[in-house]
Structure formats: structure tokens, C-alpha cells
Structure 1
Amino acid sequence: MKLGAHLPLIDFDGSPLEPSTLRAYVDAARDSGFTAISANDHLVFQRPWLDGIVALASILERSGGLTLATTVALPVVRGPVPLAKAAAALQILSGGRFVLGVAPGSSVADYDAVGVPFEERWPRFDDAVRVLRSALAELEPVPARPVPVWIGSWGSAAGLSRVARHGDGWLASAYNTTPGRLAAGVDILREALRARGRDDTAFPIALATMWTYLTSSREEARAKVEALGAMLNRDPAELAPQVLVGDADHCRAILQDYADAGVGTTFLWPLGDPVTQLRRFGAEVAPRLVEGS
């Protein structure tokens, strides 16, 4: 399994969101064996949230050979043509290292902010992806390497049919699935791909927004999960087995289960102290995951 890192777009622990933090975070990812950097999309959230597209653009020169990705961007909210224009620019300026992950999103607040009815998100999303793909091929300058478009889905049959229909990859949601549910989704996706005459053996599958915090303290782990549950309006007991919060053995075991289920890349997001946490994860968990794969 490869590892990616979400840019720290939220202030979890009172530290200011500064350019130096993003630069240090990307350095930590690159130095610690991560293969990708990602950002995801909210206009409105329970916490202040840096714009993901702008944040990715700000670390282009720092990113070296890392893949850059959105996990996910919202074409219905942003507009498919403006999003295509930004994606094409990121692909050109990165030298072909950009992956555009898209989904309708699950936040009513984002839709309210742009005056689009939330209940219309699914049909609007299908239309938006078609417009997005056309714009990526037609708006100039067109990147020399086409932008891969990955589709986000929690793993329903309808969602995975949409992935097979529109996508170049599947982005699953880490805190809305389990290794068992994801493995079942992989089977559904492969069947849907075969039904469309598409190759089901090399189709990328990634797991996004895997909230992460390494600690040997059960009290600290519990506090982190409770704070995350409050932010997401989710039951901490439900979240606990779906996030990487705990010691290195606990985190490695969960990642291994996802690797065995078919995940190729997992994108981590530290719940505080992002640079130190990323370096610790690269040193304490990633090597053991590789050895156990």
C-alpha cells in the first residue's frame, strides 16, 4: 500500500495555518516515503478550512515528485468548467502529476453557500462530471497528459456503478466504511467495470480522509476521537475503529486490513501536530506495513 497525506487545511490544536506549516508538512511527507499530497473541498465547515485548490497550488514547487490530488473537489458547488480550468493548470504546472478526485459532497452548508438545492446533488453531479470531462479536453491550454478523474463513493451499488461509468479510479471514504465493506465494494466495482468492457485489474482504489494520530496513551486517543466525533457530529464509538488513532500496532493492523481488501493508496490526515505526526507515521508504521504486505 502507498501512503498519501492530506494537507492540514484545518487548525485542530490552536496552531495558526501558515505557509511555513504547509511547506514543512510537504517536506515531511516527501522525506518519510509518502507518495502523494492531497486536499479536499469545503466552502463552509465547522472549523475554518483553507481552500484546497489554492493550497495545492501553493506547494507545487515544494512537492518534488509527489502526486497531487483532490480527495475530493466538488464540481457541482465550484462549477465544472472553473474546476476543469484549475485542474488543467495544476496538471500543466506539476508536469503531469495531478489527479482530480470529485464527488457531490455531503455538506448541506456547501450547497447553501452557492444557492444550489442539496437534494439535487446527484443528478447535478452526473451532469457536472460530463461537462467537466468535456472541458478538460477542450479548454486551452490542454495538458499534454490527460487529467485522471477519480470518483468518490461510500460504496453503494449505485455509487460504484457511477465510478465505473465516469471514473478513472475510486476514492472511498475512510470514516464511512470498514475493510469488510470496502472488499465487498471492490467486488461490485469490478463486476460493473467488466460489464462496461473495462479493465478491472488495474483500476486504482484509494481511501481518503483517514484521520490519524499516533499515541500510546489510551486517554489521549479517546480524547482525539471524541473531539473528532464532535466536529463531524458522529458517535465516537462508531468512529474509533474507522480511524488511525492509537499506537503503531493498532494503526498498522487497520491499514493492513485495507491493503488486503484492495486499497492501493490511503490518504492520512493527522489530528493535530501534523508535521511531527507525519514523520512519526513514516518512521513507526509505514516500514512495518510494507514488510507485512
Structure 2
Amino acid sequence: MTKIGVVFPQNSLGDDPGAIRAYGQAADELGYHHVRVADHVLGADRDAHPGWTRPYDVDTSIHEPFVLFGFLAALTSLELAASVIILPQRQTALVAKQAAEVDVLTGGRFRLGIGVGWNPVEFEALGLNFADRGRRYDEQITLLRRYWTERSITHRGEFETVTGAGIAPRPVQRPIPLWFGGQSEPAYRRIGRLADGWFPQTTPGPELDAARGTVERAATAAGRDPSTIGLEGSLHWTGTPDGLAESAEAWRRSGATHLAVNTGGAGLKSPDEHIDALTRAAAALGLERAAVA
């Protein structure tokens, strides 16, 4: 059965802890399975970066995922999913430690989504090289899984050195599932080789079919069973529940194991508006607790 969650509306709930609590608890009570949270440490000031065309900037409100997960872990029974942590701009050992703590606090209800990143402004401010992020990312993936499954590790790599060290407590899930972002041929091949699941940046149709084919071929070449790799699609709220069930079915036919309702792009301004949208979406999608709510 496809698991249906929600995309946390990063730039819509502001800095009110009560609004975040109400949103998370409403999603939980309505029967959603998980909440998916994006990551950006910094936003670029458009005045300092002429021609900036990306949707996120210095005025975009984005909560820090690991801190937010700690808050939501105490308030809900939702699975928590990062979508996605920009791994190469962070210290691997610290990510391993933070992710393990979230997994412990949720009793194993955590997926760590990771991505290579696209924002050189963030990399510069965090003291890391944007140009070599892909090679660093591949090394980090191996290290994360070792931190989560081994008491003590020693590693000598191109970017990382660890001498007889480990994290404690280690997570409930050993290893924590790693889900990948990305929307290029190299990214799809990496997903096939290494990922437990992925977040496509497209919709059901020829483009998704082609990407999925690349993932499956890479998995087979790596000696993996492609059917074990999860896939999470997005269901975009447009103001009404019309078409949501049909969209969900199209994703299921395309192999989606997970879906998430995204109310963030519909112009909703208040927590109540987002919760109302989630309530109507839950009913349209047939979530078990929607009728009770």
C-alpha cells in the first residue's frame, strides 16, 4: 500500500511554534503517514547576486530540519523524512549523529533524504567547495552507513579521515534508510547503485519512466533488486481536491511507494488554511482517519 504523507510548508507557517505544532498534530490526526521537510541553511541576497533566478532567497523562511524533527518527534507519531539534507555542505559525522538521534527519539520512524545541492552561496558561507561536492557526497554515503552500523570506524578517504571513532547512541534502524534527490542521468545512476529510495522531480509520464528505467538498470548492474528501491511522488494542492485521487493512482502505476500532499505552492497563508487543505485532501485520498477528523 502506498504511504501518504505531507510536505511541510516551510515558508508559510512562520516562526510561531504553536502553528507548527497545530500543523504537525493535524497531519497526524488525519491519518497521514509522514511529514517531509526541505533543507536550506542560507538564502542568497538578490541585491548581492544580480540575476538570481532561484525560488529561495534571503527572505525565504526555512526551518532547520533536525531541530524541527526533534520538536515534531515529541508531538506526533508521524514518520519524519528529510527531503533533502544538502549533504556535501555538512560534516558527515555530525549528520550521522543528528540523524541517529532523530531515529532514536522516533523509535525508528525516520528517513534521511540527501542531495548534492545547487546553491554555491551556501557552500561558500559554510566553508566548503562547491565544485567537488559530487565526489565528496559519494564518500559521505559510505561513511554514514558505517557510523550507523559499526561501534568504531577507521576511514582514510579523499575528503574524510576517521581514526577509531564512532557515535552513541546508534540508531534504531541500522542503517537509517537513505533516500536521494536529483534529476540528472548521473543522479539516477547513483540512486540505482546506492539509494534506499528517491524523490523524483517530475510527474508520471515519459520523463519519469525514462528516469526510472535508468535507476533500475543501474541497480541491476550493481547486483541490487530494483523493486526494493522506494519512490516518493508529490501531490500538489491547487485549491480543491479535484484530481488528487487520479494523480495518486497515476503515481501508484508508476511505482510510487510513498506520496506527499504539498500545500506549499497554493498561496495559503495561515496554518488553518493549510490544515483545511490537508483535511479535504485526506478525505479525497481515503485516509482511514479522515472521516473521524
The alignment's TM-score, normalised by the length of structure 2, stands at 0.77
C-alpha offsets along residues 20-65 of structure 1, whole Å, 9 cap, x if unaligned? 112211222122221111212101232121111111110102222x
Of the structure 1 ranges 55-64 and 144-153, higher mean CA displacement relative to structure 2 is found in: 144-153
Distance (whole Å) between structure 2 residues aligned to residue 148 and residue 267 of structure 1: 17
2:130 alignment partner in structure 1: 118
Q: 1:190 aligns with which of 216, 230, 234?
A: 216
1:40 alignment partner in structure 2: 38
1:203 alignment partner in structure 2: 229
1:281 alignment partner in structure 2: 281
1:212 alignment partner in structure 2: 236
1:259 alignment partner in structure 2: 252
Gaps of 5+ in 1: 216-246, 289-293
Q: CA deviation at 1:274?
A: 2.0
Q: 1:97 aligns with which of 96, 101, 109?
A: 109
Asked if 2 retains the 8 angstrom alpha-carbon contact of 1:43 and 1:113, the reply is no
Distance (whole Å) between structure 2 residues aligned to residue 8 and residue 277 of structure 1: 12
Compared CA separation, residues 274 and 165, structure 1 to 2 (3 A):
same
Distance (whole Å) between structure 2 residues aligned to residue 250 and residue 6 of structure 1: 18
Q: CA deviation at 1:201?
A: 1.9
1:2 alignment partner in structure 2: 3
Compared CA separation, residues 141 and 203, structure 1 to 2 (3 A):
same
Distance (whole Å) between structure 2 residues aligned to residue 190 and residue 63 of structure 1: 35
Asked if 2 retains the 8 angstrom alpha-carbon contact of 1:214 and 1:281, the reply is no
Per the alignment, in what secondary structure is the counterpart of residue 99 of structure 1?
strand
Gaps of 5+ in 2: 44-56, 151-166, 288-293
C-alpha offsets along residues 117-148 of structure 1, whole Å, 9 cap, x if unaligned? 32322112112222222222242211232111
C-alpha offsets along residues 84-121 of structure 1, whole Å, 9 cap, x if unaligned? 10000011111111111111122233222213232322
Compared CA separation, residues 92 and 278, structure 1 to 2 (3 A):
same
Distance (whole Å) between structure 1 residues aligned to residue 19 and residue 119 of structure 2: 27
* Structure ranking higher in helix proportion: 1
Compared CA separation, residues 6 and 132, structure 1 to 2 (3 A):
same
1:25 alignment partner in structure 2: 23
Q: CA deviation at 1:18?
A: 1.5
Compared CA separation, residues 16 and 170, structure 1 to 2 (3 A):
closer
Q: CA deviation at 1:164?
A: 2.2
Per the alignment, in what secondary structure is the counterpart of residue 267 of structure 1?
strand
Distance (whole Å) between structure 2 residues aligned to residue 98 and residue 126 of structure 1: 21
C-alpha offsets along residues 131-182 of structure 1, whole Å, 9 cap, x if unaligned? 222222242211232111112222x332122112221112222xx4553311
Compared CA separation, residues 79 and 53, structure 1 to 2 (3 A):
same
**Which amino acid counterpart does residue 34 of structure 2 have in structure 1?**
A
Work out whether 1:54 is the aligned partner of 2:67.
yes
The runs of at least 4 aligned residues of structure 1 exceeding 4 Å deviation read none
Counting only pairs closer than 5 Å after superposition, residues 157-168 of structure 1 correspond to structure 2 as 157-168=185-196
**Which amino acid counterpart does residue 275 of structure 1 have in structure 2?**
I
Q: 2:198 aligns with which of 170, 175, 194?
A: 170
